[in-house]
């Protein structure tokens, strides 16, 4: 991979935004991706890269338009599933902005420009405060929501989990529309951290507001 003018095959997705420092498993069932899968299978692991982008609304008809920002991901694993289709395990490496699409390949490719995250001091008081606030809210929300917020808070709270990984893993899992997630992706890491914290606080406020009504709802279900 070159530092600029990077050429990537594109994987446009309809309802999903991929973030750096997160894993994404794709089940490839569209036969139009077979040439791409075959090319990936012939490459060594260090050369297997994809650009994950979000489809614009109305993609069902005509050529699917995509938003100009996405995540460059390494293909960590490529295997055939029990149904005969291919499963890809991706790991997001960096954000990018699309410069131009290319028309000289059997599948969509583009030249992209990497977008670097600003350097952060993990021990900065502001970063530490945002990190702790996110973790506190996650503990409360995961206890309330269970499988609706599938995150391992103990893993996220470990010293091995950097601030970027924490913020991006939460952003990938939190229940907001795809366009809101794309907005999160385009924000710088400090802004994204504050946005994720704001989203979690809003979720907690809604849960707190509805808590007095839960006994009533449970009684109606029993009746």
* Residue pLDDT tens, the chain, 223 long: 444 578 999 999 989 999 999 999 999 888 888 899 999 999 998 999 999 999 998 766 556 899 999 999 999 999 987 787 899 999 999 999 999 999 877 889 999 999 999 899 999 999 999 999 999 999 999 988 888 888 999 999 988 899 999 999 999 999 999 999 999 999 999 999 999 999 999 999 998 998 787 665 545 555 4
- pTM for the full predicted model: 0.88
Scanning the structure block, which residue is given the tokens 């385009």? 186
Q: What is the pLDDT of residue 210?
A: 83
Tell me phi and psi for residue 38, to 5 degrees: -65, -40
Q: What is the pLDDT of residue 215?
A: 63
Q: What is the pLDDT of residue 3?
A: 45
CA 148 – CA 168 distance, rounded (Å)? 17
Q: Provide the token pair at 165.
A: 């990984």
């Amino acid at each position: 991979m070159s530092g600029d003018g990077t050429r990537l095959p594109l994987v446009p997705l309809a309802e999903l935004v991929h973030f750096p420092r997160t894993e994404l498993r794709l089940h490839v069932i569209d036969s139009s991706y077979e040439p791409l899968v075959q090319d990936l299978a012939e490459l060594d692991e260090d050369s297997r890269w994809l650009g994950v982008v979000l489809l614009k609304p109305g993609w069902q008809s005509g050529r699917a338009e995509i938003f100009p920002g996405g995540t460059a991901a390494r293909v960590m694993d490529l295997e055939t599933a029990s149904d005969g289709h291919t499963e890809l395990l991706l790991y997001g490496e960096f954000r990018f902005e699309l410069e131009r699409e290319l028309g000289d390949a059997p599948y969509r490719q583009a030249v992209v420009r990497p977008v670097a995250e600003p350097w952060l001091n993990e021990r900065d008081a502001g970063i530490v405060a945002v990190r702790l606030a996110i973790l506190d809210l996650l503990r409360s929300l995961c206890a309330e929501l269970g499988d609706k917020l599938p995150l391992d808070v103990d893993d996220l709270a470990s010293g091995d989990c950097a601030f970027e990984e924490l913020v991006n893993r939460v952003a990938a899992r939190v229940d907001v529309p795809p366009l809101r997630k794309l907005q999160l992706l385009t924000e710088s890491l400090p802004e994204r951290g504050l946005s994720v914290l704001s989203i979690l606080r809003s979720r907690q406020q809604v849960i707190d507001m509805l808590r007095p009504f839960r006994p009533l709802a449970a009684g109606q279900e029993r009746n």
